Structure 1
């Protein structure tokens, strides 16, 4: 029987789960078990070839998660609102019930978060549960932000954990990933003169916590396991406003980049069907009260007590911009 500690990773074939796996893959004291809906898929086989134990698990089936979590020393949990948003059956359910797809995706993600927590609570000897989460925007905005469902649905798992399992809460840690650096690709558009324009509903001076989840979330999870439980850390590589982001873009690429503020209505027209309103409210939340809200328990990475390797926006753009500009 292995004496190594076991970390079980939800979503190992995704960006965040894969980053966590990479952070632990070559640590001599740890072994990895990855959960996938289809443990025989090509992406699962790729992780198995690297040395991860792959098992089947369904976030909609708590019993499958209990089996997958069995024997875990640590568990990394994550859910995906946008996956639920894209499922055709959920759109059909929204139409049938007279609800928005945002509401249906919210409920589905909340249920999956509850299942992760319930399954983790069944594990004897569990040392740590680490959840990837986001702030409760309805609360911190004092009810002004109502369509940022993908933030609130993730925080619902934290609330459920604290209310239902106070003892396990003492073994939990949380990371709130900042704005994904990769998202600039969806907001930067090439203009007729060859320059690029970045748009969003926030002011140019709004300071945003930029984060590379693929490179860094694993480093954050590893760091959280090196300190006492109960910590909630902000996932940040660089704090930059839009003007500063565009300045970096121009400095690195030599291609002029400018920022233009648009309205939430503009975004809704460009992205109909609920996505534009959802993303628009997220951006307005970033503007006021701020991406992480006003949670006094949230600490910055430099205050965690251990060093965390982080990717800066400049580091990221130096690698990413060449392929973006060729696309």
Structure 2
């Protein structure tokens, strides 16, 4: 039996990378080389048990990236701006992987990208965690790496943390403070991204050189609130906060996130139909909340 082609998965012990590594392993078409900074952590050992080759990988180290990609057919790359204070960290990491992929002749890289909002709005909106991924996207294509970019909608998982319903100060109900007005916001569970990426690797001719917007569904903030109300048995309302009020809330990155919501209001391309074709089991927000009610025990 011929050995399977290898796909290197960066960030394989994180939420998005882990979802991708597991889905590719389940598909049994490719072998997975799972890259992580700590090969002894539980998530790494779990991937090893599932059949992945787990390798120490560091996106800030060229020799490490070269070793990770040597002999690989393809790679999945996800970067995060939140993990470092280093300026342009995602751009540096992404360009390094692009350069090494080009040099080693990888056949297909799937990059978890996003739009370069600053460029698209002529500098009016700056959304750093989008813009840096957008810059990396553009670089991959400019140097001729065979690449597909996935542009993922807002994570449903955010409703457990930064978007958790808050108790109203003037009554026995909860509010969702997301500044979208009446414009629907696309969302998806991070756990459902892996199967989509696996399908993209299975159909390179269809997706090479393209950016694919992923979304399970688009709901207004009041519709998200209605789902939460129904499943949690507590009234949740849209707080109807404006982006201007949101950016004054004073938490770290408040202004950047307000600009992200302003960009979401411009309706960036997210393809619900294609997402469901690539992963027929993708969950709706209602299904997702039903399965994760325990995350809301404290409200």
Kindly indicate whether the alpha-carbon contact (under 8 Å) linking 2:151 and 2:214 is maintained by their aligned counterparts in 1.
yes
1:129 is the counterpart of 2:109:
yes
Counterparts of residues 22-33 of structure 1 (less than 5 Å): 22-33=22-33
Distance in 1 separating the partners of 2:122 and 2:229: 37
1:216 is the counterpart of 2:187:
no
Q: Which of 320, 324, 327 is the equivalent residue of 2:292?
A: 320
1:201 is the counterpart of 2:203:
no
Q: Which of 250, 254, 259 is the equivalent residue of 1:276?
A: 254
Q: TM-score, normalised by structure 1?
A: 0.82
In the TM superposition, residue 141 of structure 1 has moved relative to its aligned partner by 2.7
Distance in 2 separating the partners of 1:43 and 1:318: 25
After superposition, the C-alpha distances for 1:210-252 in whole angstroms (9 at most, x for unaligned) are: 1111x21111111212322223211100111111111111122
In the TM superposition, residue 39 of structure 1 has moved relative to its aligned partner by 2.3
Q: Which has the higher helix share?
A: 1
**Counterpart residue number, 1:255:** 234
Kindly indicate whether the alpha-carbon contact (under 8 Å) linking 1:252 and 1:317 is maintained by their aligned counterparts in 2.
yes
**Counterpart residue number, 1:40:** 40
Q: Unaligned regions of 5+ residues in structure 2, if any? A: none
Counterparts of residues 98-113 of structure 1 (less than 5 Å): 104=87, 107-113=88-94
153 and 121 in structure 1: CA distance in 2 versus 1, 3 angstrom threshold: same
Q: Which of 279, 282, 290 is the equivalent residue of 1:308?
A: 279
In the TM superposition, residue 67 of structure 1 has moved relative to its aligned partner by 0.7
Distance in 2 separating the partners of 1:36 and 1:177: 22
306 and 181 in structure 1: CA distance in 2 versus 1, 3 angstrom threshold: closer
**SS of 1:153 mapped into structure 2:** helix
Aligned length: 292
In the TM superposition, residue 69 of structure 1 has moved relative to its aligned partner by 0.8
**Counterpart residue number, 1:183:** 158
Counterparts of residues 94-173 of structure 1 (less than 5 Å): 104=87, 107-124=88-105, 126-146=106-126, 148-163=127-142, 165-166=143-144, 168=145, 171-173=146-148
Distance in 1 separating the partners of 2:70 and 2:287: 39
In the TM superposition, residue 48 of structure 1 has moved relative to its aligned partner by 1.7
Kindly indicate whether the alpha-carbon contact (under 8 Å) linking 1:197 and 1:258 is maintained by their aligned counterparts in 2.
yes
Q: CA RMSD in A?
A: 2.2
**SS of 2:33 mapped into structure 1:** strand
1:5 is the counterpart of 2:5:
yes
**SS of 2:27 mapped into structure 1:** coil
Distance in 1 separating the partners of 2:70 and 2:243: 45
Kindly indicate whether the alpha-carbon contact (under 8 Å) linking 1:175 and 1:220 is maintained by their aligned counterparts in 2.
no
**Counterpart residue number, 1:233:** 212
Distance in 2 separating the partners of 1:16 and 1:68: 18
**SS of 1:33 mapped into structure 2:** strand
Distance in 2 separating the partners of 1:232 and 1:265: 30
**SS of 1:245 mapped into structure 2:** helix
